[in-house]
Amino acid sequence: MDYRFNFFLKIWHAIFKVLVVSMPILIAGRLLGGCVTYQVGRSLEGTDVVAPGDELQVGKTTLEDTLALLGAPTTLVELEGQDLLLYQKTVMRQKRLSVGLPLLDALGTSISFSASGNRVNYDTLALFFTPDGILRQVVFEKGTSQPYKKPTSD
Amino acid sequence: MPEIDADTRYLMPGGNDLNSISGKLIVLLILTFVSGCFGFGKNQDYQSLDAGKLEKLVKGQTTAAEVSALFGTPAQVVKMSNGNAYIYTHSVAKGTAVWLLLVSLVNYDKQYDQIIFFFDNNDILTHYGASFDARDSSYGLPF
């Protein structure tokens, strides 16, 4: 009998502990939900762009070789007698913090603060070809590896 | 509230003690009360591209009209220095959103299938490039 009583006592203690710990969190969440929001977002477009290697040689590599090696480019442009093939991957990162006090809406006024930031980085491989389809210039930049927050010089 | 001996551990069926169960209950209770937890979405642009049709093409012989008959209307036509290029594209985008109490996480992944045909000034196919990455689009978290 004592064993059963102690067992139910332990269960009641566990339930009580759950309520004591979780209720403040739930109440805070319910009161602040929609008032305080921190949003983290990311948008990816395109596959990885590989850095150019020995297989891309200016003056030798042809347009056909390049297409066989890298597949279809993201963008295609004709620039004053040159053909530009652009391989690109885009990564956008977004962070947003908003704080509001909707309880004040009943008084006809409200206070809200929000701060947000976006950063878009690109991995880009630009290949310029002559009208004869011979590689003329290679430009590569890997921007997606840069951190969301990067010190600027200005 | 009667005093509880903290050193005494009562095993529940399955071998878990009450302390570990109460921890799990706390997490479960919080997760239960969180509303609008997950969201998934998928978008597709243009029709899917059939890679098998590329085998029917012969460089130096196939015309732009024949390519159009096989693949339909191109999404874009670009004037090149020595002819034209037809661009066929198909994209798949998958979005994931997770709301956890005060924090929301959003992820969007868009990938493309793309074929570009190059034609000379006589509309004869000179070469083409193809990439099929739309299947790689995936759901996930923004980390």
Residue A104 banded pLDDT, cuts 50, 70, 90: low
Select from A118, A122, A127 the least CA-distant residue to A144. Answer: A122
Contact: A64, B127; criterion CB under 8 Å: yes
A47–B101 C-beta distance less than 8 A = no
Handedness of CA A20, A21, A22, A27 (dihedral sign): positive
Judge whether residue B140 has pLDDT over 80: yes
Query: Do A71 and B87 count as a contact with CB atoms less than 8 A apart?
Result: no
Contact yes or no for B110 and A44 at CB 8 A: yes
Chain B contacts of A88, Cβ < 8 Å? none
The alpha carbon of residue A154 is apart from the nearest alpha carbon of chain B, in Å, by: 29
Mean pLDDT rounded to a whole number for chain A = 84
pLDDT at position A99, please? 82
The more confident residue out of A55 and A23 is A55
**Chain B residue closest in CA terms to A21:** B26
Q: Is B128 on the interface with A (CB under 8 A)?
A: yes
Q: Do A67 and B131 touch (CB under 8 A)?
A: no
Do B133 and A16 lie within an 8 Å CB cutoff? no
The shortest C-alpha distance from B98 to chain A (Å) reads 10
Both tokens of B80, joined, read: 């090149």
Chain A residue whose CA is closest to B20: A14
Question: Is there a contact between B82 and A11 if contact means CB atoms under 8 Å apart?
Answer: no
In Å, how far is A128's CA from the nearest CA of chain B? 12
ipTM attached to this prediction: 0.73
Lookup: tokens for A135: 């590689």
φ/ψ of residue B112, rounded to 5: -125, 145
The per-residue pLDDT for A114 is 86
DSSP state letters, A15-62:
HHHHHHHHHHHHHHHHHHTTTEEEEEEEEEES-PPPPP-TT--TTT-B
Residue B136 has pLDDT above 50, yes or no: yes
Quick: pLDDT tens for B68-97.
Answer: 999 999 999 999 998 999 999 999 999 999
> Which of these, A154, A141, A134, lies nearest to A50 by C-alpha position?
A141
Q: pLDDT for B43-55, tens place per residue?
A: 998 889 999 999 9
Set of chain B residues whose Cβ sits within 8 Å of the Cβ of A7: 10
* Percentage with pLDDT > 90 across chain B: 61
Can you say how many angstroms the Cα of residue B81 is from the centroid of all Cα atoms in its chain? 35
Residue B65 contacts residue B86 (beta carbons within 8 Å): no
How many Cα atoms occupy the beta-carbon half-sphere of A150 within 13 Å?
Answer: 13
- Alpha-carbon distance B131 to A23, whole Å? 53
Task: Find the distance separating the first CA and the last CA of chain B, reported in whole Å.
Answer: 46
Q: Which of A58-62, A80-84, A147-151 has the lowest mean pLDDT?
A: A147-151
Q: Tell me how long chain A is.
A: 154
State residue A40's pLDDT score: 94
Closest CA to B53 of B67, B36, B38, B74: B67
Least-confidence region, from A138-147, B33-42, B65-74: B33-42
Q: What's the rounded Cα separation, in Å, for the pair A44 and B93?
A: 9
What Å distances lie between residue B126 and A60, A153, B23, B61, B70, CA to CA? 18, 47, 67, 8, 17
Distance separating alpha carbons of residues B59 and B66, to the nearest angstrom: 12
Which has more pLDDT, A4 or B130?
A: B130
The count of other CB atoms within 10 Å of the CB of residue A121 is 19
pLDDT value at residue B1 = 45
Q: Per-residue pLDDT for A102 more than 70?
A: no
Query: What pLDDT, in 10s, does the model give residues A67-78?
Result: 999 999 999 999
For residue A139, the tally of other CB atoms under 10 A from its CB is: 12
Q: Are A37 and A97 in contact (CB under 8 A)?
A: yes
What pTM does this model have?
Answer: 0.72
Q: What token pair was written down for A39?
A: 């949003």
Q: Examine the pLDDT at A7 and tell me if it is beyond 90.
A: no
| Helix (H), strand (E) at residue A139 | strand A135-142
pLDDT in tens, B3-32: 545 444 555 555 556 566 677 777 766 665
| Contact yes or no for A29 and B101 at CB 8 A | yes
Comparing B143 with A39, the larger pLDDT belongs to A39
Chain B residues touching residue A25 (CB < 8 angstroms): 30
CB-based contact, B11 to chain A, within 8 Å: no
**pLDDT for position B112:** 96
Under 8 Å CB pairs connecting chains A and B tally to 135
- pLDDT, residue B47, reads 86
Mean pLDDT computed over B124-134: 95
Contact residues, chain A, for B104 at CB < 8 Å? 37-40
- For residues A24 and A12, the model is more confident at A12
Whether A128 and A135 have beta carbons less than 8 Å apart is answered as yes
d(CA B117, CA B60): 12
Among B138, B135, B143, residue whose Cα is nearest residue B108: B138
